[in-house]
Each structure stands twice: as structure tokens, then as C-alpha cells.
Amino acid sequence: MESDATVSIEPEHATRNTSTPEAHYAVIPGYGRTLSGVTLLPVTVNTQKAESSPRLEYDMYLFSPSSNGSIVNVTVVERATAPLEPENGLLMPLLIGLMSGLLVGAGMAIAVEYLNRRLRFEEEVERYLELPVLAVIPELHTAPDVAHG
């Protein structure tokens, strides 16, 4: 779309996507304010020379006449950015986080209880060890507990 000597193009709508053995352009769906973005992969590729580098080419017909014949200067005005708002809003990630936290917490509580091998009551001693209880050490109340009790 051309307007006031400005052209707007979606990055993934390139006419030609020329790759090299070292690098290529890949589409990042949903990246940016509109349809998508593109990135050069691998991100660790060395600096490329213009004549032998991977490139995206866009064929277009311009309605505005150029001032110097058929040569047109191209400038990237705005790079793609991450979406400003989540696709599902904030409610869905918050609910997923809450449910995940509850499940992890419940799972950990069950695991701790299951792995706890202490015998705490007389009945547990008799059931697991199959031995009679001979004596029980009573709970010792501290002075403040005795004063309130």
C-alpha cells in the first residue's frame, strides 16, 4: 500500500527469499503489530557481505513518480516488535498459573506425607512394627502453657 511516498509491506510477503548455505530468513508468526516478523537464522551467523548474503526481495509497482528516474531509496522506518497485548488477555495466563500452583502445591504436600516414615501414634507402632507399646513419653508443657492451662 503506497501513500505519500511511503510503502507498507508485511515482512513475510517477500517476492523472493534468497538463502545461503550459512544463513536464511525465517518467518516469526504473530510477531509485531500486524501479521508477522522475520529474522535471520542462525542468530550466531557472521556478518554477511551484501552481494552474497541472504536477502528478502519485494517486487512492487509505485504510483508516485520518482524524482531521479527509476531509482528508489528504501528505509526501514519501524522494526517489528513483540505484541503489545497477550492474545488471550491476562485472565487465561493468570488462571493457568493459579491452577498450576495449586496442583504443584498439592502434589508436594502428598509427596512429603507419603515419604514421611516417622511413627507418630501408638496405633502406627502396633500396626507397622507388630509390637506392643510398652510406654509413651508424654508431651512436656512449658511454663507459659501450664500457666494458661
Examine the fold and report which residue of 84, 106, 130 is the final residue of a domain before the chain moves on.
Answer: 84
- What pLDDT does 55 receive? 82
Do 66 and 114 share a domain, yes or no? Answer: no
- Percent of the chain scoring above 70 in pLDDT: 73
Question: Which structural domain, as residue segments, surrounds residue 128?
Answer: 91-148
Do 15 and 60 share a domain, yes or no? Answer: yes
Q: Look at residues 84, 80, 93, 75 and name the one whose alpha carbon lies nearest to residue 28.
A: 80
Do 67 and 9 share a domain, yes or no? Answer: yes
- What pLDDT does 85 receive? 63
User: Sign of torsion, CA 9 15 21 26?
Assistant: positive
- What pLDDT does 141 receive? 73
User: Sign of torsion, CA 49 51 53 59?
Assistant: positive
Do 48 and 23 share a domain, yes or no? Answer: yes
Per-residue cell: 3 = 501513500
Do 31 and 68 share a domain, yes or no? Answer: yes
- What pLDDT does 119 receive? 82
Examine the fold and report which residue of 48, 65, 84 is the final residue of a domain before the chain moves on.
Answer: 84
- What pLDDT does 105 receive? 96
Do 143 and 80 share a domain, yes or no? Answer: no
Q: Which residues of the chain have pLDDT under 50?
A: none
Examine the fold and report which residue of 50, 65, 84 is the final residue of a domain before the chain moves on.
Answer: 84
The structural domain count of the chain equals: 2
Q: Report the distance separating Cα 52 and Cα 19, nearest Å.
A: 9
- What pLDDT does 64 receive? 65
- What pLDDT does 57 receive? 81
Do 15 and 74 share a domain, yes or no? Answer: yes
What one-character-per-residue DSSP string does 16-54 give?
EEE--SS-EEEEEET-SSSSEEEEEESTTPPP--GGGS-
